[in-house]
Amino acid sequence: MRAVAVTLVLLEHGGVPGMGGGFIGVDIFFVLSGFLITSLLLDELGRTGRIGLSGFWIRRARRLLPALVLMVLTVGIARDLLPQEAVAGLRGDAIAAFVWLANWRFVAQKTDYFTQGATPSPLQHTWSLGVEEQYYFLWPLLLIAVAVLLAAWAKHYRLWATLAGVRFLVFLIAALGAASSAAAVMVVSSEAAHDRIYFGTDTRAPALLAGAAASALLVRDWSALNRGRCMIRNRWAKWATRVLPVVGLVALAAAAHFARGSAQEFRHGLLIAVALAAAAVIAPVALNQRAVLARVLSCPPLVWLGTISYGIYLWHWPVFLALNGERTGWSGWRLFAVRCAVTVGVAAVSWWVVEQPIRRWRPMRVPLLPLAGATVGSAVAATLLIVPVGMGPRAGVDSSLPPGVSSVAAVSPSPPVVPVHPVGQRNPNRPFTVSVFGDSIAWTLMHYLPSTPGFHFVDHTVIGCSLVRGGPYRYLGQTLDQKPECENWPSRWSAQIAADQPDVALLIIGRWETVDRVNEGRWTHIGDPTFDAYLAGELQRAVDILSGTGVRLSVATVPYSRRGERADGTLYPEDQPDRVDQWNALLRRTIGQRPNVSLLDLNKKLCPDGIYTAKVDGIQVRSDGVHLTPEGVKWLTPWLEESLR
């Protein structure tokens, strides 16, 4: 089942069609962990009359820490292979992963696991390790408390405290805990609480507790079960162990195919349903290992994948981010196959070279619990040395940028309109004045603009807005509504250009003209003759407004971009080069031979080879595939000044 679980995760993260619900593989891991850990702890309690906490925690640390430390330090060293915005918070993410609190860090950051387009941290997948390790810390303490309280109660009433009594109480606690947590998730689930529900230890507890409840109820002899003996004697019980896993497997397959991780699905009980389906597979298969499904899951390839599944899970996400469509030139099944091959290869090497030797190591005198703590401390110290400070926040271009620059969720307010003066009243002694109009690309240019002696740039950019008005649009796979502030650009620009009396106006637009949009009641995009006619009309209006008073106008081409990739390495529609080419061709046709209107080929400057690139002349010019970096603006400014003169 570990092989099945990790395969589901790989299929979802690889963008395989029809596997959008592969995230349930993590829930299968949780159920497996709950089942296994509870079985081991109760078995130890039955054999020895106690639970050795230090021994249990040491075994968990030896199992999980070595590969985690290796993976995190490798990511830190090889961070240049990863998207810049993905590693922006790497130092904090690494420390949180080492101390098993990654899930709460992502809750605090309001990270949305299901957001499309935004590049996640290469350590985002360590959230599940945090949930499991917190469970490993708390659950043994609870079992010890149950055993102690039951023993005290039995002594008080002069009864025998039995392991069966402990099992029953553990089952009761786990079942009630899973039910109450699942009910809370269904009650509070909403878009606002989505990240909290997905990453929270308490809200993901139903899967762990479902596995624990199944173990406490059904497992009586762990050592015999571990040797493969059939624990079922009753004919009807054997029949149930053959049927239930099939039903559970069908339910898991349906969830993996149809689920999308929406708040509505969580509200309708998706998480607890997946947990119960996984328990319906895991417990019967463990109890009756001679059943058909148990034999299928015991085939050598699946057993081998299950053996290294922890390493596969650890390594797959940074490998998938590093081997993207931009770097490899591949997409779809070819890219997925290469990613999986590299992941499995690295996981296998990690297993044989690092994980197994450390698990087998038996030091004579070194106290292992302090050693585990020292390992974590050393890893944290190494992370602080390897990962530089000041890499910036993950979600945006810069800490001072509003969220809309990278997520198009914000619109900057319109600046106050100053009194209008005739164009003829320009002050001849003032600096060369440039009025800048446009969207967030123009905004970042203005935001990072260095000192420009002899020039005065007036910023009239509005984040998230351009020429197209009305109707919803799709961006990075999400459907968004047009901001009402975007509707009044004609009147706003008319007042601003008249008030500025600039020497030249600069118009930088086009990003929002290349997205899919609703126009005249239907979804369309540039390249559709009807929509092209609409765009040409709006562009003509913009040119008339900005150049109508005799002001010289420079219109910039939109550069090729790569804001993000789909999971399978393909581009989102708005990043398709042919759409950019169509918009730039429309610019050239509209401008034509108009006097006082010229074309500023920003696309050629930022993409000199005719394809998207993040670096030009060795300088990182784009931060997120679209917007300019401070270094990029500094590099661009002399060319801009010369072009506008």
Per-residue pLDDT reduced to its tens digit, 496-509: 999 999 999 999 99
Check whether 44 has a pLDDT greater than 70. yes
> What is the C-alpha to C-alpha distance for residues 525 and 519, in angstroms, rounded to an integer?
9
pLDDT band at 370 (very low <50, low <70, confident <90, very high): low
- Mean pLDDT in residue range 561-575: 94
Specify the pLDDT at position 75.
96
Identify the pLDDT of residue 119: 82
CA distance 138 to 275: 20
**Adjacent-strand bridge partners of 473:** 480, 517
Q: Does 404 reside within a domain? A: no
Query: What is the DSSP track for 162-187?
Result: -HHHHHHHHHHHHHHHHHHHHHHHHH
Answer yes or no: do 493 and 631 share one domain: yes
- Residue 71 is assigned to a structural domain of this protein: yes
Angle, helices 440-447 vs 630-644, to 10°: value is 100
**Confidence at residue 423, expressed as pLDDT on a 0 to 100 scale:** 39
More confident residue, 164 or 309: 309
pLDDT of residue 66: 93
- With tokens 């020039």, the residue in question is 455
Look at residues 348, 364, 386 and tell me which one is the last residue of a structural domain. 386
Which of the residue ranges 73-87, 424-438, 605-619, 626-640 would you say has the lowest mean pLDDT? 424-438
| 263 in a structural domain | yes
Q: What percent of the chain has pLDDT over 90?
A: 74
Give me the pLDDT at residue 85, please. 85
What average pLDDT score do residues 548-576 get? 95
Any idea which of 254-268, 314-328, 368-382, 631-645 has the lowest mean pLDDT?
A: 368-382
Q: In terms of domains, do 12 and 107 share one? A: yes
* DSSP-assigned letters across all residues of 187-214: HH--STTHHHHHH-TTTTHHHHHHHHHH
pLDDT of residue 607 exceeding 90, the answer is yes
Q: Is residue 566 part of a domain?
A: yes
Residues 319 and 234 in one domain: yes
In a domain, 416, yes or no: no
- 253 shares its domain with 337: yes
Q: What is the mean pLDDT of the chain?
A: 89
Same domain flag for 441 and 380: no
| Predicted local distance difference test score (pLDDT) of residue 215 | 95
Tell me what the mean pLDDT of segment 343-353 comes to: 97
pLDDT higher than threshold 50 for residue 581: yes
- Position 427 confidence tier, pLDDT thresholds 50, 70, 90: low
Q: Is the pLDDT of residue 421 over 50?
A: no
Which of 38-47, 393-402, 455-464, 479-488 comes out lowest in average pLDDT? 393-402
Query: What b/e sequence results for 116-133 when a residue is b if at least 16 CB atoms lie within 10 Å of its CB, and e otherwise?
Result: ebbbbbbbbbbbbbbbbb
Question: What's the rounded mean pLDDT across residues 446-459?
Answer: 96
Q: Has residue 391 been placed in a domain?
A: no
Q: Among 243-257, 275-289, 401-415, 571-585, which stretch is predicted with the lowest mean pLDDT?
A: 401-415
Q: Quick one: 379 and 437 in the same domain?
A: no
User: Who's near 48: CB < 8 A, 6+ residues apart?
Assistant: none
Query: Considering the chain, what percentage of its residues have pLDDT values greater than 70?
Result: 88
Following DSSP, what letter does each residue of 524-585 receive, concatenated? E-TTSHHHHHHHHHHHHHHHHHHHTTS-EEEEEPPPP----B-TTSPBPGGG-HHHHHHHHH
Same domain, 469 and 344: no
Strands 615-616 and 597-600: unpaired
pLDDT interval class at 192 (50, 70, 90)? confident
Same domain, 332 and 260: yes
Check residues 386 and 197 and name the one with the higher pLDDT.
Answer: 197
Virtual CA dihedral for 281, 282, 288, 292, nearest 10 degrees? 50
Say which CATH number the domain at 498 has.
3.40.50.1110
Maximum mean pLDDT: which of 102-106, 549-553, 589-593: 102-106
> Which of 351, 386, 421 is the C-terminal boundary of a domain?
386
pLDDT at position 396: 38
Question: Residue 52 belongs to what domain range?
Answer: 2-386
Instruction: Summarize the confidence of residues 321-327 as an average pLDDT.
Output: 94
- Mean pLDDT on 529-544: 96
pLDDT value at residue 235: 79
Stronger pLDDT, 353 or 483, i.e. the higher one:
353
Average pLDDT over every residue of 141-152? 93
In a domain, 424, yes or no: no
Residue ending a domain, among 355, 386, 417, is 386
Residues 351 and 454 placed together within one structural domain of the fold? no
Greater pLDDT, 286 or 277: 277
Residues 590 and 507 in one domain: yes
Q: What is the pLDDT of residue 139?
A: 97
- The tally of domains found in the chain comes to 2
For residue 222, the model assigns a pLDDT of 73
377 and 441 in a single domain? The answer is: no
- Residue 407 pLDDT > 80, yes or no? no
Residue 367 reports pLDDT greater than 50: yes
On whether both 370 and 448 belong to a single domain, the answer is no
pLDDT digits (tens, 9 = 90+) for 88-124: 899 999 999 999 999 999 999 999 998 876 689 999 9
Q: What is the mean pLDDT of residues 46-62?
A: 91
Q: 14 pLDDT exceeds 90?
A: yes
For residue 413, being part of any structural domain is answered with no
The pair of structure tokens assigned to 342 is 């590299």
User: How many whole angstroms separate alpha carbon 190 and alpha carbon 273?
Assistant: 18
Q: Note the pTM of the prediction, 2 decimals.
A: 0.88
